[in-house]
Amino acid sequence: MRDHSNRPTMLRSVAVLAAVLALSSVSRAQQAAPTQGQRRATAPSPTANLPFDPHDLSGIWRFGGGLGPTNAPPMTPAGKAKYDANIPGLGGPEGRNKPLGNDPMMICDPLGYPRVLSFGAYPMEIVQLPGRIIQFFDFFYVHRTIWMDGRKLPDDPEPTWYGYAIGHWEGDTLVVESNGFNGRAWFANGGYPYSEDSKLEERYKRVDHDTINITMTLTDPTTYTKPWVIAPASMRWAPKEVMREDVCSPSDEKKYLDEIREPAGRKTGQ
Amino acid sequence: MFAHHGSRISYDLTQMVTLTGTVTEFQWQNPHVYIKFDVKDKEGKVTNWGAETYSPVVMTRDGWGRKTLKNGDKVTVTLWPSKIGTPLGFLAKLVHPDGHVTDLSNGAGPE
CB contact, 8 Å: B50 with chain A? Answer: yes
pLDDT of residue A32: 34
B110, part of any domain: no
In this structure, the strands spanning A199-208 and A211-219 are antiparallel
In this structure, the strands spanning A192-193 and A186-188 are antiparallel
The pLDDT of residue B28 is above 60: yes
Residues B21, B26: Cα–Cα separation, whole Å: 13
Could you say which of A106, A264, A268 has the minimum Cβ distance to residue B10?
Answer: A264
Contact flag B2-A31 (C-beta cutoff 8 Å): yes
The pLDDT of residue A27 is above 70: no
Higher pLDDT pick, A54 / B2 = A54
Residues of A in contact with B64 (CB under 8 A): 10
Task: Give the least confident one: A20-24, A26-30, A78-82.
Answer: A26-30
Sorted by where each begins, the domain ranges of chain A are 14-265
Task: Give the least confident one: A2-16, A59-73, A119-133, B72-86.
Answer: A2-16
Q: What percent of chain A has pLDDT over 70?
A: 80
Number of structural domains, chain B? 1
Contact flag B8-A90 (C-beta cutoff 8 Å): yes
Residue A22: band (very low, low, confident or very high) from pLDDT cuts 50, 70, 90: very low
Residues of A in contact with B34 (CB under 8 A): 256, 259-260
Residue A80: band (very low, low, confident or very high) from pLDDT cuts 50, 70, 90: very high
Please state the ipTM of this predicted complex.
0.88
- Give me the mean pLDDT over the A44-59 stretch: 92
Burial label, B81 (beta-carbon count in 10 A; 0-12, 13-18, 19+): buried
pLDDT of residue B108: 59
Domain carrying residue B69: 8-103
B111, part of any domain: no
**Side chain identity at A114, as an amino acid letter?**
P
Local structure of B8: helix, strand or coil? helix
Contact flag A260-B3 (C-beta cutoff 8 Å): no
Could you say which of B36, B88, B106 has the minimum Cβ distance to residue A264?
Answer: B88
CB contact, 8 Å: B62 with chain A? Answer: yes
Is the distance from CB of A63 to CB of A122 less than 8 angstroms?
Answer: no
pLDDT of residue A227: 96
Residues A108, A254: Cα–Cα separation, whole Å: 9
B23, part of any domain: yes
pLDDT (tens digit per residue) in A189-203? 889 999 999 999 999
- Give me the mean pLDDT over the B81-91 stretch: 94
CB contact, 8 Å: B65 with chain A? Answer: yes
Contact flag B107-A265 (C-beta cutoff 8 Å): no
Within the 19-38 window of chain B, which residues sit less than 8 Å (CB to CB) from chain A?
27, 29-32, 34, 36
pLDDT of residue A266: 80
Contact flag A259-B50 (C-beta cutoff 8 Å): yes
Residues of B in contact with A95 (CB under 8 A): none
Could you say which of B64, B68, B107 has the minimum Cβ distance to residue A28?
Answer: B107
Higher pLDDT pick, A247 / A28 = A247
What does pLDDT average to over chain A?
Answer: 83
- Give me the mean pLDDT over the A126-149 stretch: 97
The pLDDT of residue A142 is above 60: yes
The pLDDT of residue A16 is above 70: no
Residue A13: band (very low, low, confident or very high) from pLDDT cuts 50, 70, 90: very low
- Give me the mean pLDDT over the A69-88 stretch: 91
B109, part of any domain: no
Task: Give the least confident one: A61-70, A118-127, B55-64.
Answer: A61-70
Overall residue count recorded for chain A in this entry: 270
pLDDT of residue A74: 95
pLDDT of residue A140: 95
pLDDT of residue A39: 39
Could you say which of A10, A105, A264 has the minimum Cβ distance to residue B63?
Answer: A10
Residue A66: band (very low, low, confident or very high) from pLDDT cuts 50, 70, 90: low
pLDDT of residue A69: 59
pLDDT of residue A33: 31
**Side chain identity at B66, as an amino acid letter?**
R
The pLDDT of residue A115 is above 70: yes
The full DSSP string for chain A is: ----TT--TTSS-HHHHHHHHHHHHHHHHHHH-SSTT-TT-SPPPTTTTS---TT---EEEEEES---GGGPPPBPHHHHHHHHH---SSSSSTTT--SS---GGGGT----TTGGGG-TTS-EEEEEETTEEEEEETBTTEEEEEE-SSPPPPSSPPPBSS-EEEEEEETTEEEEEEE-B-S-SEEETTTEE--TT-EEEEEEEEEETTEEEEEEEEE-TTTBSS-EEEEEEEEEE-TT-----B---HHHHHHHIIIIIHHHHSPTT-
pLDDT of residue A68: 63
The pLDDT of residue A42 is above 70: no
CATH number, position B87? 2.40.50.140
Contact flag B107-A90 (C-beta cutoff 8 Å): no
pLDDT (tens digit per residue) in A202-242? 999 999 999 999 999 999 999 999 999 988 899 999 999 99
